[in-house]
Chains A and B, each alone.
Chain A
Amino acid sequence: MIYREAGQYKTSYAADQAIFPILQDRIGLAILLLVAFVGAPLVASDYILSTILIPFLVFSVAALGLNILTGYCGQLSLGTGGFMACGAYAAYKFATAFPELNIVFVFLLSGGVTAMVGVVFGVPSLRIKGFYLAVATLAAQFFLIWLFTKVPWFVNYSPSGVISAPPRSVFGFYVTGIEATSHAKYIFCLSFVALLALVAKNLVRGRVGRAWMAIRDMDIAAEIIGIRPLHTKLLAFAVSSFYCGVAGALWAFIYTSSVEALAFDINRSFQILFMIIIGGLGSILGSFLGAAFIVLLPILLNAGPTAMGAPLSTSTIAHLELMTFGALIVFFLIVEPHGLARLWQIGKEKLRLWPFPH
Chain B
Amino acid sequence: MQHAAPRTIGETLLKVEDVSLGFGGVKALSGVSFDVRRGEIRAIIGPNGAGKSSMLNCINGFYQPSDGRITYKGKARGAMRPYEAARDGIARTFQNIALFRGMSTLDNIMTGRMLKMNRGFLWQCLHWGPAQKEEIEHREAVERVIDFLEIQAIRKVPVGRLPYGLQKRVELGRALAAEPELLLLDEPMAGMNLEEKEDMCRFILDVNEQFGTTIALIEHDMGVVMDISDRVVVLEYGRKIADGVPDEVKADPKVIDAYLGTGHG
Contacts and interface: CB of A to CB of B under 8 A. Distances in A.
B111 A214 contact: yes
B132 A227 contact: no
B131 interface: yes
B124 A208 contact: yes
Interface stretch (A88-96, A168-176, A215-223): A215-223
A224 B125 contact: no
A211 B114 contact: yes
A221 B98 contact: yes
Contact of A226 (B83, B99, B102): B83
B178 A221 contact: no
A44 B174 CA distance: 51
A43 interface: no
Interface in B67-126: 81-83, 85-87, 91-92, 94, 98-103, 107, 110-112, 114-115, 117, 119, 121, 124-126
A223 B103 contact: no
Contacts of A221: 94, 98-100
A225 interface: yes
Interface string A256-296: 00000000000000000000000000100000000000000
Nearest to A71: B102
A206 to B, nearest CB: 5
B125, B139, B174, most chain A CB atoms within 10 A: B125
A349 B83 CA distance: 38
A129 interface: no
Given A13-B139, A208-B124, A218-B99, A213 B107 contact: yes
Given A14-B132, A225-B91, A206 B124 contact: yes
B103 A210 contact: yes
B214 interface: no
Contact of B60 (A203, A217, A224, A282): A224
A14 B133 CA distance: 9
Given A203-B124, A206-B127, A227 B114 contact: yes
Given A213-B102, A216-B102, A224 B86 contact: yes
B139 A17 contact: yes
Given A13-B139, A222-B111, A227-B114, A206 B131 contact: yes
B127 A202 contact: yes
B111 A210 contact: yes
